[in-house]
Every structure is written in structure tokens, then in C-alpha cells.
Structure 1
């Protein structure tokens, strides 16, 4: 139940800016942001050590980050499911999901220079949506979906906060800190503990990224205690 906020610029002179908060089982091992794929020089990402894929990755002007959503492909037995981690690496390499994925449901945010799209798979239909200029928010359902409590609670605040300057992420972090006053099991919370909802996932880390026509600047920060807010530094 991760969360992504992304600002798509109005002007072609401005970069795309993104904040992604990762929720995962803290017992599932991962590697922090780094170049973990020797066969892919220049690719950096947050690696899932079990499957070898990535939650978020970037290479040049391309970035992808994956959020889980409900959905199981019809006719695919649990032992036949494929890992979702490879989707991010394929996307950064230029191959967006197509056809009928043999994975559980997902939302995939894809940035290519100044263009941003979301590919969604619910186990039945694969949908592709190009995002218009503005500030968008995504979790486990649709983009800017006001039926998602955390989007209803915080989308407007992120929009109003803006994302400008050398440390453009600071206004968004202030909103994130404000949201963390909520109990982490609250449906409106962004820094989350999902055990109360039947999932072993909690918020573990966050990345911010600025993406232009030629390159990406991605930064990583980890929460000191899973599911508990502390001020994050992306310097």
C-alpha cells in the first residue's frame, strides 16, 4: 500500500518531481538505492533481494516505481505467478507492461523525461493513463481517486505545498510530517502500519526524484523505525 506523489510540469522547461513512500514487510530483505545490477550500468534502484527486482529504479531520463493493488490473473495458480519486481526494471529499459501480465495487481508509475504515465493491472484489465500537468497522488487504487482515504485527505495539501527550489521536496516533507500525526493504522495515514488491515506491511523508506529530459536525480532516506515517522534527510 505504497504512496506516490508526482508533479507533472506545465512548462517543458521544468522537471518532473516525485515523492514515493514504500510500504513492505520489514522481514523481506532489500538493498537501499544503488547500482545493484552489474549487467545494467547506470541503472540505480531500491532492490528486492529475494527476487532480484526493484521497487523503484531509474536510468537516464527514465524512472519507474511500482505500487501493489488488488487483483489476481484469472486461471493463474499461485505457484505460477511471476514477480512484479521485474516490471520496474523492464520499464526503465523501455518496455512497458502489455498483454495479460501473470502477476498480482499493480500500479506502475513510469516517467520518461517530462512525460508521466500510470499503467494499472487489476488481474482483468491492463489500463494506461497519461498524466496531465499538475500534482497527482496514487496509492492502491486509481490516480487521484477520492475514494482512497489518504488521497482524499492529503492530495490538495500536496498540491498547495508546491515543489520548487533546490530542496523542492521540503514542502512535501512538511505535509508528510503533518500526515504522520495520524495513527499509522488510520486509512488516511501515509506513514502506515497495515497489520490492522490484515497485511504485514509498514512504511519503511522514501525516495524523492527529479527527472529531466536527459537524466534523473534520485535520493533515498530510510525511517529509523518501520511505520514510525522521523524527519527525513535527502541531502
Structure 2
């Protein structure tokens, strides 16, 4: 039940910028932002150690970035028939998107290049694509800007009013909104920094990445929360 805030510019010379919050089972091991795939030395990402794939991946050569968000669907597939969704971000930054009937449980895959962004969604039955229009948007476990998702309906306009700044720390206004959102507590339906265990999922918010993707390249910074589901001062680097 991850969350992404993304700004797609109207000016093609301005980079696409996003802030991604990862929710995962804290007992499932991961590697922080780094170059973990020797066969693809230009790819930087957050690696899932168990399956070897990525939650977020960026390729300096292709100027592409991809983020994986889980979505309901595909639960009828036996574990033996399921392919790890962590392959999707790696394939995406190398130029390959998922096919019509992926042998995977549900997902939203955000694909970003220097001038545009789209979400490929799979609910276990249907695959769809959504081109993200210029402006500031939110993505979670359903559709882009889905008003039925409480955190989106509550916070989207706040992010739209806090446009990113110029410079390397453009994301500061968005981090301020994240900090403000934690006053709700991590189990509130409107929370962005989350504890999803009361909903039946073993996942909590673990880390934050900020990224910009433009004609000059890809830049990604990373910070882990002080503890799962707990906010604190973040030093993204």
C-alpha cells in the first residue's frame, strides 16, 4: 500500500519529479538505494533481497525510472505459479513493459521517462494503462487520483498547493506535508506514513525516495524512517 506523489510538468524541458513512500513487511529484507545488479551497472534501485528484484529502479543510460505499488488481484494464483513483481521495475527501465496477462498478483507500475509518466495496472484479470496528465497527482493501491482512496482524497490538494521548489531539495514542501500528515497516526485511513496491520496486511511505511527524471538524467535520493511506521527527521541522500 505504497504511495507516490508525482509532478508531470507542462514544459518538456522541466523534469518529472516524484516522492515515493514504500510500505512493506519490515521482516522482509531489502537493500537500500544502490547498484545491486552487476549485469545492469547503470541501474540504481532499492532491492528486494528475497526475490532479487526492485521496488524502485532508475537507469542512468535510458533516463527512465519505475516504481512498483501493490494492488488487489491475482490472489487465486497458487504461489508456485506466481512470478515476483519485483522484476517489473527492472524490465521497465530497460524498455520492456508487462504483457497483457502477467503471471503476477495485482500491481500498479509507474513508468517515468524524461517527458512523461504512465501507470500500468493489473488486477489479476485486466491490464490497463493510464497516461498521467501534466500536474501533481497521487497513486496508491487503486487508480491515479482515486477519490475513493482516503489518503488521496484528503491530501492531494495539499500537495498541489505546495508545488516543488527549485534546486536539489525541491521536495522540501512535500516532506513538510508528509510530516503534517503524521498527526493523524499511522492507522488512520487517511495516513500516508502507515501501519497497515489493522487492515490485515503485515506492511508499514519504511522509507522515502525523491526522484527527478529529465533530459539531463535521473537523480534519486533515499532515506529510511527511524522505525517502521514512525516519522522522524529525514536526510535524503
State the TM-score bracket (shorter-chain normalisation). Answer: over 0.9
The answer (yes or no) to whether the contact 2:73–2:124 under 8 Å persists in 1 is yes
SS of 2:176 mapped into structure 1: helix
In the TM superposition, 1:197-208 aligns within 5 A as 197-208=199-210
The whole-number CA distance in structure 2 between the counterparts of 1:13 and 1:85 is: 31
SS of 2:4 mapped into structure 1: strand
The whole-number CA distance in structure 2 between the counterparts of 1:149 and 1:86 is: 29
Q: Which segment drifts farther, 50-59 or 9-18?
A: 9-18
1:77 Cα offset (Å): 2.4
The answer (yes or no) to whether the contact 1:24–1:200 under 8 Å persists in 2 is yes
Q: 2:234 aligns with which of 228, 232, 235?
A: 232
Deviations 1:62-117 (A, max 9, x none): 0000000100176x423211100001100011001112010000000000111100
Q: 2:224 aligns with which of 222, 225, 228?
A: 222
Deviations 1:139-192 (A, max 9, x none): 000000010000001000001100121111000000000101111011100000
The whole-number CA distance in structure 2 between the counterparts of 1:36 and 1:81 is: 23
The whole-number CA distance in structure 2 between the counterparts of 1:146 and 1:100 is: 27
1:226 Cα offset (Å): 0.6
TM-score with structure 1 setting the length: 0.97
The whole-number CA distance in structure 1 between the counterparts of 2:26 and 2:175 is: 22
The whole-number CA distance in structure 2 between the counterparts of 1:84 and 1:214 is: 29
Gaps of 5+ in 1: none
TM-score with structure 2 setting the length: 0.97
Asked if 1:146 corresponds to 2:147, the answer is: yes
The whole-number CA distance in structure 1 between the counterparts of 2:159 and 2:196 is: 23
Task: List, as ranges, runs of 4+ consecutive aligned residues in structure 1 with deviation greater than 3 Å.
Answer: none
In the TM superposition, 1:110-129 aligns within 5 A as 110-129=111-130
CA RMSD of aligned residues (A): 1.0
1:45 Cα offset (Å): 0.1
1:118 Cα offset (Å): 0.4
